[in-house]
Amino acid sequence: MAAIELKDITKEYRSDEIITSALRNVNLKIGSGEFAAIMGASGSGKTTLLNIIGCMDIPTSGTYLLDNEDLGGAKEKHLSSIRGKKISFVFQHFALIDDYTVFENVEIPLMKQPLSKAERKKKVLSALKLAGISNLAKKKPSNISGGQKQRAAIARAIVCQAEIILADEPTGALDSKTGNEIMRVFSELNNMGKTIILITHDKNVASYAKRLITIQDGSILSDEAI
């Protein structure tokens, strides 16, 4: 069953009389529990594609089905709810709040949910354990390494138990050794049944995925199992 299905997705940006096509008639299916890597040169459209999958952007035309729900015309409130419950993001530069502890950063997505403080604590501690940083709960981002920051970002992404995790260059700010450690975390999450879709320029990072999608000039150039 396809958790994600894009049909003839086009995305255009308009500036005065200039129209720039970021995506051109993209058709793509990603099943529940898949681990897919998206590669392409800068400006190829891969980030736009990820943002549309993650309900952060809206296509100019085409159909986006998420778990068989057509999101065309969906209100921002509904899209925001999907981002909180079904889909989570991991970014290249972590996007942690410096004044918050690791625990508090991971807790943020839970604050809008009707949970008690004890329930939130249980979920946060579970996410920290899965990310391998239970011992860093009281630390602030300025006092931990880049790899630990990315683990904190992963913990924040999984704390709401979203089934789909989107990662935009998750190892881009890390050295190769730390990057491999982070990719092993993603592999473990995929083995637990999470759907992982990541953008990368690094073939080694892409090798952790089970499917490689190459995009060029806004169109899918190739799509193969690896």
Q: Does residue 65 contact residue 71 with C-beta atoms inside 8 Å?
A: yes
3-state class of 79 per DSSP? helix
pLDDT for position 53: 97
Percent of the chain with pLDDT over 90: 86
Query: 4 to each of 1, 69, 151, 166, 201, how far by Cα in Å?
Result: 9, 9, 26, 12, 23
Amino acid residing at 145: S
Write down the pTM of the prediction. 0.91
DSSP states of 152-181:
HHHHHHHTT--SEEEEESTTTTS-HHHHHH
What is the model's pLDDT at position 17? 81
First to last CA, the chain: 20
pLDDT at residue 35 greater than cutoff 60 = yes
pLDDT for 2: 59
User: Cα separation of 180 and 177, whole Å?
Assistant: 5
Q: What is the pLDDT of residue 84?
A: 79
Please, where are the H alpha helices in the chain? 46-53, 76-85, 102-107, 117-130, 146-158, 176-191, 203-206
Strands 69-70 and 61-66: antiparallel
Please compute, for residue 221, the number of CA atoms within 13 A of its CA located in the half-sphere on the CB side: 13
Provide, rounded to the nearest whole percent, the portion of the chain with pLDDT above 70.
Answer: 99
Long-range contacts of range 8-12, CB-CB < 8 Å, 24 or more positions apart?
8/61, 8/62, 8/63, 9/49, 9/52, 9/59, 9/61, 9/62, 9/63, 9/64, 10/59, 10/60, 10/61, 10/62, 11/45, 11/48, 11/52, 11/57, 11/59, 11/60, 11/218, 12/60
Q: What is the pLDDT of residues 162-176, one digit of tens each?
A: 999 999 999 998 999
**pLDDT above 70 for 148:** yes
pLDDT single digits (tens) 91-137: 888 999 999 999 999 999 999 888 999 999 999 999 999 999 999 99
pLDDT tens by residue, 40-75? 999 999 999 999 999 999 999 999 999 999 999 899
The pLDDT of residue 156 is 96
Q: Which two tokens stand for residue 143?
A: 């006092």
Domains and CATH numbers, the chain: 33-47+76-225 (3.40.50.300)
| Strands 164-168 and 61-66, sheet pairing | unpaired
Name the pLDDT band for 184 (thresholds 50, 70, 90).
very high
The Cα–Cα gap between 3 and 43 comes to: 26
The per-residue pLDDT of the chain, averaged, comes to 94
Which structure tokens are listed for 169?
């260059």
Q: Is 90 exceeded by the pLDDT of residue 85?
A: no
